[in-house]
């Protein structure tokens, strides 16, 4: 039974949690996110009856960015308003709704800008996907990008060691919502392909191939098969990017392009994104061993660029899309320079890049 069978109006007075963030305790509202299930909730936050912002946001993000970001965490809703106004005085009604179809449609719509950016960096865009084999490294538990690429007609290879089972209670509603979002987008979609994908009862039927491996050890039968590869905030978790990029070169055809967004920050705290560079290698490896560099592998942008080049790729572009806050960097640099860390002489340009996108192409 759904933990929320009807809409729940969030009643003021909302507690101010700093910045643009407000909190509303909602006793009895189960299935909120938690430390061991960071995107479990299916709650949709409505502002005057309309879905607002994105769920599962970090509370620091809500404070700093606002704009409708929200989080259903444990037994409270942490949220911001669409225009960062005070929800206690702006005269709007805020409602919590537990609605899987609405949640999944919002989720697929939220992912489309990243997909559009990905496709916009490739010759032919979405029209070039049909009949092509596309690889995503680290698709995540919910396969947003994988399912979207399959819905656009690509054969998709998902690089993940432990794929979750096909879940008709998740994947099929998601695909229905994806179909709605794609038809409303600027992408030219094939209704027959969307219908086939939405009716799928397995990954194979949806045109999705799982490798069951790490990126450092891709299957031999993928050699010279991949037309395009991509990843979203995955390469910073690789144990050995140099080995992974050599594997990518082996499976890529001549001229194959890759688009990879990399988050170079310490994943423990987005407001202090460089602290992990102060740790010595032994301490850092011990902390991360069980989780395969869940904090990030500390490979700086210039080093990752060298890994691409050594593996046989040309770097067509590297766009910095997010930088470290100048005030934090000013505080961090003196501490790094006087430390014993192997990063103490790192270039400031490397340190200031929080997120960037590599566009690469295999030589040949």
Q: Are strands 226-232 and 133-137 parallel, antiparallel or unpaired?
A: parallel
pLDDT grade for 141, boundaries at 50, 70 and 90 = low
What whole-number distance in Å separates Cα of residue 117 and Cα of residue 277? 30
pLDDT grade for 143, boundaries at 50, 70 and 90 = confident
The pLDDT of residue 4: 45
The pLDDT of residue 35: 76
Residue 145, Cβ density class (10 Å: 0-12 exposed, 13-18 middle, ≥19 buried)? buried
List C-alpha distances in Å: 255 to 161, 216, 310, 361: 27, 21, 16, 6
Residues 236-255: pLDDT tens digits?
Answer: 999 899 999 999 999 999 99
Whether this prediction's pTM lies above 0.85 is answered by: no
CATH number of 105-362: 3.40.50.150
H/E stretch holding 172 reads: helix 171-184
The number of helices, as runs of H, and strands, as runs of E, in the chain is 10, 15
Query: Residue ranges per domain, the chain?
Result: 8-98, 105-362
Mean pLDDT of the chain: 87
- Among 361, 360, 341, 363, smallest CA distance to 351 is for 341
Over 90: is that where the pLDDT of 46 sits? yes
The pLDDT of residue 119: 82
Q: Please say whether the beta carbons of 287 and 295 come within 8 A.
A: yes
Q: Average pLDDT, stretch 229-241? A: 93
Q: Please say whether the beta carbons of 8 and 51 come within 8 A.
A: no
The pLDDT of residue 153: 80
| Residue 30 CA neighbour count, 13 Å, CB half | 5
Residues 69-92: pLDDT tens digits?
Answer: 999 999 999 999 999 999 999 999
Select the highest-mean-pLDDT range: 13-17, 94-98, 188-192: 13-17
Q: Average pLDDT, stretch 273-298? A: 82
Q: Please say whether the beta carbons of 128 and 121 come within 8 A.
A: no
List C-alpha distances in Å: 6 to 3, 49, 99, 101, 339: 9, 13, 9, 14, 56
């Amino acid at each position: 039974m759904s933990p929320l069978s009807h809409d729940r109006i969030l009643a003021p007075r909302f507690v101010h949690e700093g910045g643009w963030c407000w909190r509303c305790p909602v006793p009895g509202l189960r299935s909120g996110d938690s430390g061991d299930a960071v995107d479990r909730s299916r709650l949709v936050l409505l502002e005057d009856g309309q879905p607002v912002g994105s769920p599962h946001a970090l509370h620091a993000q809500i404070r700093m960015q606002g704009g409708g970001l929200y989080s259903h965490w444990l037994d409270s809703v942490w949220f911001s308003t669409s225009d960062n106004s005070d929800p206690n005085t702006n005269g709007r009604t805020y409602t919590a709704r537990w609605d899987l179809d609405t949640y999944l449609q919002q989720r697929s719509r939220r992912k489309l800008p990243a997909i559009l950016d990905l496709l916009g960096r490739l010759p032919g865009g979405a029209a070039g996907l049909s009949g092509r084999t596309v690889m995503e490294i680290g698709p995540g538990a919910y396969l947003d990008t994988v399912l979207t690429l399959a819905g656009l007609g690509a054969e998709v290879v998902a690089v993940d060691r432990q794929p979750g089972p096909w879940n008709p209670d998740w994947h099929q509603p998601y695909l229905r919502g994806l179909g709605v979002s794609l038809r409303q987008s600027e992408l030219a979609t094939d209704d027959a392909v969307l219908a086939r994908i939405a009716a799928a009862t397995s990954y194979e039927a949806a045109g999705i191939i799982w490798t069951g491996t790490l990126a450092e050890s891709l299957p031999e039968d993928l050699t010279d098969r991949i037309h395009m590869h991509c990843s979203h905030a995955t390469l910073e978790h690789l144990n050995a990017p140099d080995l992974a990029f050599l594997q990518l070169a082996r499976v890529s055809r001549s001229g194959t392009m890759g688009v990879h967004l990399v988050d170079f920050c310490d994943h423990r705290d987005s407001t202090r994104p460089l602290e992990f560079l102060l740790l010595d290698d032994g301490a850092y490896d011990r902390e991360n061993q069980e989780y395969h560099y869940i904090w990030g592998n500390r490979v700086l942008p210039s080093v990752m660029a060298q890994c691409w080049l050594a593996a046989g790729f040309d770097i067509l572009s590297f766009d910095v899309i997010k930088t470290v806050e100048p005030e934090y960097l000013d505080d961090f640099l003196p501490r790094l320079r006087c430390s014993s860390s192997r990063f103490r002489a790192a270039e400031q340009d490397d340190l200031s890049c929080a997120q960037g996108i590599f566009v690469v192409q295999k030589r040949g």
